[in-house]
Structure 1
Amino acid sequence: MQTTKLNQTLFHLTLCKGIGATSRIRMLSSLIDNPYLTPYDLAHCAQLNAANTKLFMNSFSAICLEEKLSEYKNRHIKWVTILDSNYPEYLKHTYNPPALLFYQGDLNLLNRNLLAVVGSRQNSVYGTKVLSLLLPDLIRQNFVTVSGLAKGIDQEVHKQTIALGGQTIGIIGTGLDQYYPFENEKLQKEMGRNHLLLSEYPLGTKPLKQHFPMRNRIIAGVSLGTLVIEAKYRSGSLITANLALQEGREVFAIPGDITKPYYEGTNDLILNGAKCVLNANHILEELMN
């Protein structure tokens, strides 16, 4: 099957219900071997159960591909697939990579040195000050920041990077037409115009709880390393850090007050081998060798 046809099939599959990231990769592998597989064959190859097979096949047949292609074009939503040369190279070699990523903005930013910067959704004044200390030197060295456009530290990462004249990438757990939290609408639109927004979810996808751990694997997967600013002992930021560790990436953490819960996660990361960061050079010396 030609790459263009496969890419359109992947786009079609991404809009379907009843399948997830792993199923799409299985379906893609099967289509590369045999381009004539039917939707039922694909469901079998992806090892879908009976309920998801029915859901998948019904949604597959209900989608008018030409209409959807036109809709995405009109709304200036582009996509890149794992078959494309401009798909992020680091992400391609991770466990369970997304078969397709929707995007707005400058995809070439993925070719730069990327640093994931994550932290608590209820960030402290300390966390904000840490960012203002570290980001100027990182941006002067042409690092692009990556975060999740959530409340708190994520939001601060994007805003401070933009204010400093740097470039930033937001990876979200909804469709690109959704704003979560809603207060980020203006920021998200600016990033879609002048920076980069990425999502593996089609238009209209709401902020479901299970989407955010999946989103975190992309944040970690595209980046050279992950910096955790502040985090509770159980948090999404620690999920991102652990995913980075699993992929052999560098993990950095900011030490904090041992009497406060928002630093339990970062202090624990340091105890377990993450690099303790007191200034930007502690990051640069690891990532610029």
Structure 2
Amino acid sequence: MNSEDLLYTLALQHIPNLGDTTAKKLIRHFGKAENIFKEKKSRLLKIDGIGQLRIKELGSSEHFKAAESEIKFIEKNHINTHYFQEENYPQKLKHCLDAPILLFSKGKFDLKNKKILSIVGTRQITVHGTQFCEKLIEDLAVIDPVIISGFAYGVDITAHKAAVKNGLQTIGCLAHGLNQVYPKAHKKYVNQIEENGGFFTDFWSTDKFDRNNFLKRNRIIAGLSEATVVIESAEKGGALVTADIAASYDREVFAVPGRPGEKYSIGCNNLIKSQKSHLLTSAADLLYILNWNIEDRPAAVQKQLFFELEEDEQKLYDFLKDRGKSELDVLALNCHFPTFKTASILLNMELKGAIRPLPGKMFEII
């Protein structure tokens, strides 16, 4: 995007109460933001959702003054811009009706042909939630996913840190401009995340910090990924809003079950009970539902010459040794395990180098 296109696009984004959905409708109709400002009022009025008030705003010079100021900030701080009609705009987000016309980012990341997962939850994460989140990301590391979250306390920062620890890309979606860090306590993680991913936001450096920004930010967390995982949540919370948005985008939603009555399990248990999410007990559940095959990972797991199998693993191993390659559902049926448990056991066996996956959810011993 050249500087002139950026100026007009920022000016359009600055117009109050216009909204991304209407802005994109206008751009698609008139070709680009510049044409909208130069179009006759009579033609603009024919577009559904515009109205006299918004047309009047198009004639105000204050939007261009604000845009010029923001461009100076972008250039000075080496901010990347992502326009919704250009190649560098996140592909999965392009399919979301209310996605921003313009995103800002900092960092080093590559989302092309990547498995992308959003992980959200309470800011009051428990010991159990922390352990589950860390184990989930550790087990998923073999398929090299990108981990998305909101850089907040609790589940968010736990997910970011676990991604960095396992050498994965991670992206924090912010509810403010790139001129600040919130919470301030997380400033120490900024460089690590920018070296292993980065930050996205659709807020300007001049936008006021507001609680409602977090709800708006959640659509980006949900829209960037193929699936959203809720680790822990109270009966109400931003994570549940993100899950609802993900479902509205026709993305998969997973929730980690918890003990009945536990404050930060209520939200997840309700998602599962109301069939708004898949039940998630391990990385294997997610791999199975999303059909993310471990064989698609960038580098194959090295075969181990010697491995020790647990009792359940040995049962599956003996069946495969006797019958040859077999489908997941057949293994589950004959070995008398639930499918989700079978998938989890098979994942552990593959990591040990005992078996390998084949196309069509088939497995065989090595």
Per the normalisation by structure 2, the TM-score is 0.71
Alignment of 1:1-289 (within 5 A): 5-17=4-16, 19-32=18-31, 36-38=35-37, 41=41, 47=50, 50=53, 53-54=56-57, 57-63=60-66, 65=68, 68-109=70-111, 111-273=113-275, 274-287=277-290, 288=292
Aligned-residue RMSD, C-alpha: 2.7
Letter in 2 for 1:279: S
Structure 1 residues 156 and 56 mapped into 2: Cα distance closer, same or farther (>3 Å)? farther
Task: Give the superposition deviation at 1:95.
Answer: 2.4
- Superposed CA deviations along residues 199-243 of structure 1, whole A, max 9, x for unmatched, are 011123233122111111111111010110001121110111111
Task: Provide the rounded CA distance (Å) in 2 between the counterparts of 1:53 and 1:152.
Answer: 44
Task: Give the superposition deviation at 1:22.
Answer: 3.0
Task: Provide the rounded CA distance (Å) in 1 between the counterparts of 2:203 and 2:197.
Answer: 19
Task: Provide the rounded CA distance (Å) in 1 between the counterparts of 2:262 and 2:206.
Answer: 38
Structure 1 residues 200 and 131 mapped into 2: Cα distance closer, same or farther (>3 Å)? same
What SS does the aligned partner of 2:236 have?
coil
Structure 1 residues 200 and 61 mapped into 2: Cα distance closer, same or farther (>3 Å)? closer
Structure 1 residues 5 and 64 mapped into 2: Cα distance closer, same or farther (>3 Å)? closer
Task: Give the superposition deviation at 1:61.
Answer: 4.0
- Superposed CA deviations along residues 251-281 of structure 1, whole A, max 9, x for unmatched, are 1110001111211110011112211111111
Task: Give the superposition deviation at 1:123.
Answer: 1.1
Per the normalisation by structure 1, the TM-score is 0.88
Paired residues of 1:178 and 1:204 also in contact (CA < 8 A): no
Which structure has more RCO (C-alpha within 8 Å, separation ≥ 6)? 1
What SS does the aligned partner of 2:229 have?
strand
Paired residues of 1:134 and 1:279 also in contact (CA < 8 A): yes
Task: Provide the rounded CA distance (Å) in 1 between the counterparts of 2:230 and 2:2.
Answer: 38
Task: Provide the rounded CA distance (Å) in 2 between the counterparts of 1:275 and 1:285.
Answer: 11
Task: Provide the rounded CA distance (Å) in 1 between the counterparts of 2:32 and 2:152.
Answer: 40
- Superposed CA deviations along residues 148-169 of structure 1, whole A, max 9, x for unmatched, are 1111110111012112222111
Task: Provide the rounded CA distance (Å) in 2 between the counterparts of 1:48 and 1:182.
Answer: 41
Structure 1 residues 12 and 108 mapped into 2: Cα distance closer, same or farther (>3 Å)? farther
What SS does the aligned partner of 1:109 have?
coil
Structure 1 residues 11 and 50 mapped into 2: Cα distance closer, same or farther (>3 Å)? closer
Structure 1 residues 74 and 4 mapped into 2: Cα distance closer, same or farther (>3 Å)? closer
Q: Percent identity among equivalent residues? A: 30
* Structure 2 residue ranges without an equivalent (≥5): 294-366
Structure 1 residues 28 and 55 mapped into 2: Cα distance closer, same or farther (>3 Å)? closer
Task: Give the superposition deviation at 1:90.
Answer: 1.3
What SS does the aligned partner of 2:110 have?
helix
Task: Provide the rounded CA distance (Å) in 2 between the counterparts of 1:268 and 1:173.
Answer: 27
Paired residues of 1:17 and 1:56 also in contact (CA < 8 A): no
Structure 1 residues 262 and 15 mapped into 2: Cα distance closer, same or farther (>3 Å)? same
Task: Provide the rounded CA distance (Å) in 2 between the counterparts of 1:176 and 1:37.
Answer: 28
Paired residues of 1:172 and 1:215 also in contact (CA < 8 A): yes
Task: Provide the rounded CA distance (Å) in 2 between the counterparts of 1:132 and 1:237.
Answer: 18
Task: Give the superposition deviation at 1:18.
Answer: 5.0
Task: Provide the rounded CA distance (Å) in 1 between the counterparts of 2:133 and 2:35.
Answer: 52
Paired residues of 2:119 and 2:156 also in contact (CA < 8 A): yes
Paired residues of 2:8 and 2:34 also in contact (CA < 8 A): no
Paired residues of 1:255 and 1:263 also in contact (CA < 8 A): yes
Give the structure with higher Rg (CA).
2
Task: Provide the rounded CA distance (Å) in 2 between the counterparts of 1:194 and 1:71.
Answer: 24
- Superposed CA deviations along residues 44-73 of structure 1, whole A, max 9, x for unmatched, are 6562674995598252143363x5434312
Paired residues of 1:117 and 1:154 also in contact (CA < 8 A): yes
Task: Provide the rounded CA distance (Å) in 2 between the counterparts of 1:34 and 1:86.
Answer: 18
Structure 1 residues 43 and 122 mapped into 2: Cα distance closer, same or farther (>3 Å)? farther
Paired residues of 2:84 and 2:102 also in contact (CA < 8 A): yes
Structure 1 residues 286 and 5 mapped into 2: Cα distance closer, same or farther (>3 Å)? farther
Task: Provide the rounded CA distance (Å) in 2 between the counterparts of 1:203 and 1:89.
Answer: 25
Paired residues of 1:175 and 1:199 also in contact (CA < 8 A): yes
* Structure 1 residue ranges without an equivalent (≥5): none
